[in-house]
Amino acid sequence: MRMSMPKGKKNKNSEKLVSIVTVTDKASVISEQYRTIRTNIQHTMSARKLKTIVVTSSVSGEGKSTTATNLAVVFADTGLKTLLVDADLRKSSISDSFLLNNEIGLSTLLSDRRTTIDQAICDPGMSSLRILPSGPKPTNPSELLASGRMIEVMEELNNIFDLIIFDMPPVVLVTDAQIIAAKADGTILIVREGYSNKDLLIRAKSLLENVDANVLGTIYNGAENNKNLLLLWKSPLQ
């Protein structure tokens, strides 16, 4: 298992970083909102077995990676053995945000059977949280995610972790999220205030329903109230 790079190391891709507010400011309003959403998801988890959760959006820029990352952190804070998987093999951001080496990751596991789970998973230096970076950008991401090897990897990870959160590409733009949502126990759709398009959201919902994805609900991201950005949980998706 690989450790994170030294803290403070300059990152050349700072524009790709996600805000990990649940680490940098645990007492903030937004951190508390993530914990509230965690509680709502846990309520759903208590009613049915949910170990693998896909986080996606209709298009880029709606906050899916930020949401997936902060949810993984707050779940790990409860002691759940949590894995955050950067399954956006086209435009990764999580490895940069945690200052992790992305030379080995999910794409390596899927394309090279000599690579082991232990070699690919990174320790970001946080109790109960582990990261599986995306790995080098492949030429055939959809085919890799739809492969039998992906099913094998998911089964292996299921045997190791209590909860696995997959950060996926936007569902309207490419098929990747549909592929994994069909295999996962649940899916969460991210919506952004003043940004998301209603027609595209309807399209996203339809695409997920087409593969029988278990849509747990939506997270409404960016609503403004007293200058605080709010995250609102809605379940089930209407």
pTM for this predicted structure: 0.89
State the pairing for strand pair 82-86/129-132. Answer: parallel
The predicted pLDDT at position 23 comes to: 86
Tokens of 122: 């990174």
- Evaluate the CA torsion angle 77, 79, 80, 82 in order and state its sign: positive
Cβ(229)–Cβ(30) under 8 Å? Answer: yes
pLDDT of residue 47: 65
The pLDDT value given to residue 14? 41
**What pLDDT is recorded for position 172?**
95
Classify 201 as helix, strand or coil. Answer: helix
Contact 100, 3 (CB under 8 A): no
Tokens 């950005």 sit at which residue?
229
> Could you give the C-alpha distances from 154 to 21, 69, 146, 180, in angstroms and in order?
28, 19, 12, 10
Q: What is the torsional sign of CA 190, 193, 195, 197?
A: positive
Domain 44-234: CATH superfamily is P-loop containing nucleotide triphosphate hydrolases (3.40.50.300)
Phi, psi of 104 (to 5 degrees): -125, 135
3-state helix, strand, coil in the chain (%, to 5): 40, 20, 40
Side by side, the strands of the sheet bearing 2-3 are: 2-3, 122-123, 129-132, 82-86, 163-167, 52-57, 186-192, 215-225, 228-234
Cis peptide bond N-terminal to 236, omega within 30: yes
* Unique residue bearing structure tokens 């089930």: 236
Q: What is the CB-side half-sphere exposure of residue 229 using CA atoms within 13 A?
A: 14
Q: What is the pLDDT along the chain (238 residues), one digit of tens a residue?
A: 755 543 333 344 444 677 888 888 887 888 898 998 898 888 877 667 789 999 999 998 888 999 999 999 999 999 999 999 999 999 888 988 888 989 999 999 999 999 999 999 999 998 899 999 999 999 999 999 999 999 999 999 999 999 999 999 999 999 999 999 999 999 999 998 888 889 999 999 999 999 999 998 888 887 665 444 455 556 554 4
Residue 111, exposed/middle/buried by CB under 10 A (0-12, 13-18, 19+)? middle
